[in-house]
A = this chain, B = another copy of it.
């Protein structure tokens, strides 16, 4: 089996100015073609660090994927260091130069001389074209190891991976298979789920089992190593039988399908529509519902009523109700859901009103208090939640809880 190491270069990653989403994306894509990423090493834009990381990786891995530091500015040092490392000189590629020039001129810019350096590329490396940016990829081979160097801009790295790297290595890696299969749950603690699954050995006969807790729920992942895709699939199916028997009612989807997508399928299946009325989430619930391509089949729209005045004007909430119970209350959430359902003419109305924080909390109604209501023709359900102190997390959890409420209602309705 091919062992892969990713080397991510960039001070911005180390000081946390940028999150390393590149490594995650690459890990996922490589995993899909049966290549195991066994290490990700993130280092600074410094010569010593880059050389030490290359040395260690050439010992450890068959395939080394390097990203970052290929830009046109003075702080981009990766190209010169890897060329020195693999002992190759740079040669000038006129065609690449002309293309870069054209790209800039097409956007109405004079071609900056700093970009011209990007047409100088290593003689002893295969050049991997980058049509979405100015830094080309480079493919070095030495002592049976493959080392591929790409820009760190996500869209450019993805372009080179998709067009030049994954096609080549999916063929090289034929016959060996890793299959990761995930079942997703929501609303149950990790250890409780673990006990529900009971005798884990029976499941682990078919692969390695892992539990991944997130605020949206716990994922169960099975990793199967097999000689063929068919064998891997059979193992997953055998494990799934046991898992579904023991905890099937807790699982809302598989793979990386989010609950929004699972909800979308349920809405489409039942031919139902939904509209939203949002206060503290300011549009996040609508955003999540429309993350799903084709969401116009069930999502009509909604109202963002951030101020009390908007709640009164746009949703027709009686001012007395807000006066009496407060905007963050069971009563107002109920009216918001019912109102938006009527205004938009949808089957369901889903509302959120809460105190996201950091300010606005009282001892009675602390930061993190959120009411979520779901209205349909027959009734309205309201849920009171007390989340935490962090604004962003409170908003995320609120939107998730609203989606979960509608999903569970549809699921239980059969």
Q: Is A358 an interface residue (CB 8 A)?
A: yes
Q: Which of A349-366 contact B (CB under 8 A)?
A: 357-359
Pick from B24, B37, B314: contact of A343, CB below 8 A. B314
Tell me how far the C-beta of A335 lies from the nearest C-beta in chain B, rounded to whole angstroms.
16
One complex includes copies of this chain to the number of: 2
Taken together as a complex, chains A and B put the C-alpha atoms of A282 and B296 apart, in Å, by: 10
Is the C-beta of A334 less than 8 angstroms from some C-beta in chain B? no
Stretch at the interface among A68-76, A85-93, A226-234: A68-76
Least CB distance, A116 to chain B, in whole angstroms: 10
Binary interface encoding of chain A residues 30-52 relative to chain B, with 1 for a CB under 8 A from any of its CBs, else 0: 01000011111111110001000
Chain A interface size range: 35 or more
Tell me the complex Cα distance, A293–B359, Å.
8
Q: Is the CB of B15 within 8 A of A37?
A: yes
Q: Which of A121-129, A204-212, A246-254, A372-380 contacts B (4 or more CB under 8 A)?
A: A204-212
Given known contacts A42-B23, A200-B74, A296 and B304 CB-to-CB distance under 8 angstroms: no
In the complex, chain B residues whose CB is within 8 Å of the CB of A12: 210, 212, 221
Give 1 or 0 for each of A136-164: 1 = CB within 8 Å of chain B CB. Answer: 00000000000000000101000000000
Contacts of A28 in B (CB 8 A): 15-17
Q: List 29 A-B contacts (CB under 8 A).
A: A13-B40, A14-B31, A14-B39, A15-B28, A15-B37, A16-B24, A17-B24, A17-B180, A17-B256, A18-B212, A23-B42, A38-B44, A71-B213, A72-B191, A75-B210, A104-B189, A109-B189, A112-B195, A114-B191, A114-B194, A155-B215, A281-B287, A282-B287, A283-B286, A283-B287, A287-B395, A294-B359, A302-B303, A310-B344
